[in-house]
Chain A
Amino acid sequence: MISIVRTYLTRLLPQLIALATIVAAVSIVFPGFLNLEIQNGRLYGSLIDILNRGAPVVLLAIGMTVVIATKGIDLSVGAVMAICGAVAASLITSGHSLGVTLLATLAVGVLCGVWNGILVAVLDIQPIIATLVLMVAGRGIAQLITEGAILTFNDAGLIFIGSGSFAGLPMPVVIWLLFGVLVALVVRRSALGMLIEAVGVNREASSLSGVLTPVLLIAAYVLSGLCAAIAGIIAAADIKGADANNAGLWLELDAILAVVVGGTSLLGGRFSIAASVLGAIIIQAINTGILLSGFPPEFNLIIKAAIIVFILVLQSPRFRTAFTFLSIPRAAGKPTEREAK
């Protein structure tokens, strides 16, 4: 048991250190950063705010991790968010019940995933182009559903998903926590995770050794579509409306970034959902931190780019080799970076 915890900790250590550094840096500049308080039976504070604001990217990152582990990429998640938000808003305003609306919206997300999955697995199209199709067309489809306007709704149940709270935590946080744990359990407590990694490392070899590659690939994209649907519902519920133009805009890039910051290689293979979730929270912590610490907002993107480049350089294979090479004489006996991994 202890060894399992230790393996997880060593895997997540870089991300945890990065997050702790960012939180520490921001709390020096902005002392109220770590404050938490309970009002009306609900936690409030900047930290909770980060978890809450980060919900869509965290959800997208969960699906994206699995897709990237299969050596794929899903560019369409932002557009799928817009489609699903539009579907949810149009169903609820036309008088359907909350249950029907949610189920239908999730089904639409799954459908988008099946489309991407079939393009990648059956038609054997490169993932980046296959999902580009839906990325380009998706926003058009979403606008078709909302007829170009921002559809607003007043359904208390749907709004609750965006701004309600459960057990002291905001609903979006509860949703991604539950969903993340569920996916991680399903993937890691069964052989699924290993099979996904096998497909990512070598699709042909895993096909030959009896892995149902097409099914697994489609399932990965379906999961990503499902995550995008949930994220889309949260985003729409948050603003009480579906904005086909801006919902989830460029979030696919944030999600991919979260996965990369989480240490999962874009070349497929080994993946960690927990690390990607941490990656997404790191990105959100950077965003919120920059705002709170009073930097002019114009600098947001530059600071973000600088931090990302720094993390990526640390992770780059060339740098690691150099680091291992340099640290051998001093750290004889201690496990080198490569072994610890």
Chain B
Amino acid sequence: MKQKYLPLTATILIFLLSYALCVAQYPNMLSTRVIGNLLTDNAFLGIAAVGMTFVILSGGIDLSVGAVIAFTGVFLAVVLEHGGMHPLVAFALVLAITTAFGALMGAIIHYLEMPAFIVTLAGMFLARGMAFVLSIDSIPIKHPFYATLKGLYYKLPGGGRITLIGGLMLAVFAIGILIAHRTRFGTNVYALGGGTATAKLMGVPVAATTVRIYALSGLLAGLSGIVFSLYTSAGYSLAAVGVELDAITAVVIGGTLLTGGSGFVAGTLVGIFIQGLIQTYITFDGSLSSWWTKILIGLLLFAFILLQKGIIRVSRHERQRA
């Protein structure tokens, strides 16, 4: 088997193994209802994580995701409840704003040669601040169109439901996989992650690619915000705090190297599933406290980092022998 598939395979194996363990203890977990809920509950995180995967593949990082989600939610709530706009128009408007926001961060990172970490940190403050300026209250969204959207689902055999937002996440992952592996942009992202200087020499348009990567992350963070507002039916400026960390964790657990250049969008999906599974297990158990989620995810993160280190070391050895 090719080495580059090893982290992904390990992630999938760990997911299947832990799911089997969960089912052995609680047979009810093997139902389409649980799977449907897993998709719905993690939809916003998954969509944001696709954008994060691209950013990390290129060797960058985007800390603004959670704040952009909160901004989107508050913006939608304010526009829909006080502005009387149709949700679809509002969706288009907010996606345009977040995409432009991401593109601006990308441009600053490239043209001013500033570290992505700090630029997106300032972006996080700015987006969260804009959300505060729009409203500091939690605004419920009562638009009838929201109820229609929330009522859409595809019924699976066994009573499970793939809701609109769950399905949307799967679609975003499918498109993400296509972009990463079947387009020039995707190849450029991988090249950039391998090293900016090398990419430049190979003729990769570094400026355009960097701007597009962060614009894509902004777009998906906006979409994730729309999904989040559908999921919670409200906009609140303190919502979705720390989502960027969950997304980064999912990307790393999914087998993408944080140094960039290596990984798969599909791995991130499995990373999301593993995080969701831990939470579902803790809900099923009932006696475990929620802080075990954090500790377990931390341990998993550690295990995966070690695994990646091991793989890199082994492959380096083989290269030296060859």
Q: Is the CB of A144 within 8 A of B295?
A: yes
By the criterion CB–CB under 8 Å, are A317 and B259 in contact?
no
- Is residue B268 contacting chain A, with contact meaning CB distance below 8 A? no
A293 within 8 A of B: no
User: Are A137 and B126 in touch, CB under 8 angstroms?
Assistant: no
Whether A299 contacts B133 in the complex (CB less than 8 A), given A123-B306, A136-B249, A266-B115, comes out as yes
Question: Do A302 and B129 have beta carbons less than 8 Å apart?
Answer: yes
Decide: B118 and A298 in contact? CB cutoff 8 A.
no
For B309, what are the chain A residues with a Cβ–Cβ distance below 8 Å? 123-125
Q: Is the CB of A305 within 8 A of B305?
A: no
A140 touches B129 (CB 8 A): no
* Contact assessment for A132 and B301 in the assembled complex, using a CB-CB cutoff below 8 Å: yes
Query: B114 contacts the other chain (Cβ, under 8 Å)?
Result: yes
Contact B122 A139 (CB under 8 A): no
Residue of B nearest to A130 (CB): B305
Determine the distance from Cα of A257 to Cα of B114 in the docked complex, in whole angstroms.
13
B295 contacts which chain A residues (CB < 8 A)?
137, 140-141, 144
The 0/1 profile, CB within 8 Å of B marked 1, for residues 98-132 of chain A is 00000000000000000000010001111011101
Cβ A140 vs Cβ B126 within 8 A? no
* Contact, CB under 8 Å: A257 / B118: yes
Our pick among B63, B298, B306 for the contact of A136 (Cβ within 8 Å) is B298
**C-alpha spacing A91/B70, complex, angstroms:** 38
Write out, one digit per residue, whether chain B residues 267-294 have a CB within 8 A of any chain A CB (1) or not (0): 0000000000000000000000101111
Q: Is the interface of A mostly helix, strand, loop or mixed?
A: helix
Q: Are A136 and B301 in contact (CB under 8 A)?
A: yes
Contact B249 A126 (CB under 8 A): no
Name the contact of A319 in the complex, choosing from B112, B123, B302 (C-beta under 8 A): B112
Q: B132 near A312 (CB under 8 angstroms)?
A: no
The yes or no answer to A256 lying at the interface (CB within 8 A) is: yes
**Which among B63, B133, B292 has the highest number of chain A CB atoms within 10 Å?**
B133
Distance between Cα atoms of A309 and B105 in the complex (Å): 11
Taking a contact as CB atoms under 8 Å apart, the answer to whether A304 and B125 are in contact is yes
A126 contacts B299, CB within 8 Å?
no
Asked if A134 CB lies within 8 Å of chain B CBs, one says yes
Query: How would residues 85 to 108 of chain B score, 1 for a CB under 8 Å from any chain A CB and 0 otherwise?
Result: 000000000000000000000001
Of the candidates A139, A297, A312, which one forms a contact with B118 in the assembled complex, judged by CB atoms under 8 Å apart? A312
Query: Beyond A125-B305, A148-B289, A301-B132, is A134–B298 a contact (Cβ under 8 Å)?
Result: yes
Q: From residue B154, how far is it (CB to closest CB) to chain A in Å?
A: 34
Q: B136 is contacted by which of A126, A141, A298, A302 (Cβ under 8 Å)?
A: A298
Report Cα–Cα, A272/B112, bound state, in Å. Answer: 23
Question: Are the C-beta atoms of A137 and B245 separated by less than 8 Å?
Answer: no
Contacts of A338 in B (CB 8 A): none
Contact-residue size bin, chain A (C-beta under 8 Å from the other chain): 35 or more
For residue B206, which residues in chain A have a CB less than 8 angstroms away from its CB?
none
Contact between chains at B122 and A308 (CB < 8 Å): yes
A302 to chain B: which residues have CB within 8 Å? 125-126, 129-130, 132-133
Q: Answer yes or no: A66 CB below 8 A from chain B CBs.
A: no
Q: Does residue A3 face the partner (Cβ distance < 8 Å to B)?
A: no
Complex partner residue of B117 from A266, A299, A301, CB under 8 angstroms: A266
- Cα-based distance from A299 to B299 in the complex (angstroms): 38
Residue contact A132 to B118, C-beta cutoff 8 Å: no
Shortest Cβ distance from residue B46 to the other chain A in the assembled complex, whole angstroms:
18
Residues of B near A313 (CB, < 8 A) are 112
Given A132-B249, A136-B297, decide whether A316 and B129 contact each other with a Cβ distance below 8 A: no
B14 at the A/B interface (Cβ < 8 Å)?
Answer: no
Q: Are A128 and B258 in contact (CB under 8 A)?
A: yes
| CA A126 to CA B115, docked complex, whole Å | 16
Residues on the B chain within 8 Å of A119, using CB: 305
Q: How far is the CA of A267 from the CA of B117 in the complex (A)?
A: 11
Which residues of chain B come closer than 8 Å to A304, judged between CB atoms? 125, 129
Q: Are B297 and A301 in contact (CB under 8 A)?
A: no
Q: Is the CB of B122 within 8 A of A137?
A: no
In the complex, the answer to whether A140 meets B293 with C-beta atoms within 8 Å is: yes
Min CB–CB distance A160 → chain B (angstroms): 30
A318: Cβ under 8 A from any B Cβ: yes
Given contacts A140-B293, A302-B126, contact A133 B113 (CB under 8 A): no
Binary CB contact string for chain B from 46 to 65 against chain A (1 if under 8 A, 0 otherwise) = 00000000000000010100
Supposing A137-B298, A266-B118, A302-B133 touch, asked if A129 and B126 sit within 8 A by C-beta, the answer is: no
Nearest B residue to A317 by beta-carbon distance?
A: B113
Residues of A within 8 A of B112 (CB): 312-313, 316, 318-319
A260 within 8 Å of B (CB atoms): yes
On whether the beta carbons of B111 and A133 are closer than 8 Å, the reply is: no
Extra pairs beyond A132-B252, A133-B302, A138-B298 (18, CB < 8 Å): A129-B305, A133-B298, A137-B297, A137-B298, A140-B291, A140-B295, A140-B298, A143-B289, A257-B118, A298-B129, A299-B132, A301-B128, A302-B125, A308-B122, A308-B125, A312-B119, A312-B122, A316-B112
Can you identify 17 A-B contacts, CB atoms within 8 angstroms? A123-B309, A128-B61, A132-B252, A136-B249, A137-B294, A137-B299, A139-B294, A140-B291, A140-B293, A140-B294, A141-B295, A256-B117, A266-B118, A298-B133, A299-B132, A302-B129, A308-B122
The 9 nearest A-B residue pairs measured at CB: A137-B298, A301-B129, A140-B294, A302-B129, A143-B291, A140-B295, A305-B125, A305-B126, A298-B132
